[in-house]
Amino acid sequence: MRKAGYQVDVYDGIATADLPNTIEDAEILVVQLQQVTEALLDQMPSLKLIAREGIGLDSISLQAASKRGITVMNVPDYCLEEVALLHHPKAIVTNHIAWYSEQSEARLRNLTSNRIIDFLEGREIPNIVNKKALESMTIK
C-alpha cells in the first residue's frame, strides 16, 4: 500500500485495546485476530473500512460497524489450498511448511492490500460483508 502512495501505520502484535491515541484519524483498520468492538469503533470516528486478513468475521462487531456506515471485508478465499492439504488423511507435514506459510502470508497481505486500494479508488471489491454500509458512504 505504501508503494501505491498511501500512509500506513503498523502496530504488529498489539491488542486493539492497547492501540495508541493516533487511531482516531485512521480511515482503514486491518486486523487478523484482534477484537473490533463497539468501544474501539467509538475511538475511530474517521473509520471507513475494516479489512479482516483472513476468512472469519467473529472478532468484528458487524452490527456496530454497519450502524456507523463502516464497510467490512474479509479474504474468504485465503488459505483454502493449505487447509485442504493439512486435512488430507495421508498428508505428511515436514519443516518445509514454513516456506509455504511465508508464501501464504505474503499472498494474504497482497490480496488484502489490493482490495483496500480498490476500495479507496472507488472500484468494486468482491467480498463486502455489509453492503448496505457501503451504499450509504461516499469515498473521498
| Domains of the chain listed by start with CATH number | 16-135 (3.40.50.720)
Residue 110 amino acid letter: N
Q: Taking 50 as the threshold, does the pLDDT of residue 26 lie above it? A: yes
Q: What is d(CA 66, CA 71) in angstroms, rounded to the nearest whole number?
A: 7
Q: Taking 90 as the threshold, does the pLDDT of residue 129 lie above it? A: no
**Mean pLDDT for all residues in the chain:** 77
**pLDDT digit string (tens) for 32-71?**
888 899 999 999 999 999 999 888 888 899 999 999 999 9
Burial bucket for residue 134 (CB in 10 Å: 0-12, 13-18, 19+)? buried
Q: What contacts 89, CB < 8 A, 6 or more positions away?
A: none
What is residue 139's predicted lDDT score, i.e. its pLDDT?
Answer: 47
The share of the chain scoring above pLDDT 90, in percent, equals 20
80 sits in which H/E element:
helix 80-86
How large is the average pLDDT for residues 122-130?
76
What is residue 67's predicted lDDT score, i.e. its pLDDT?
Answer: 93
What is residue 120's predicted lDDT score, i.e. its pLDDT?
Answer: 83
15-29, 51-65, 87-101, 107-121: which has the highest mean pLDDT? 51-65
Cut 0.85: pTM above it: no
Q: Are 24 and 45 spatial neighbours (Cβ–Cβ below 8 Å)?
A: yes
Q: Taking 60 as the threshold, does the pLDDT of residue 108 lie above it? A: yes
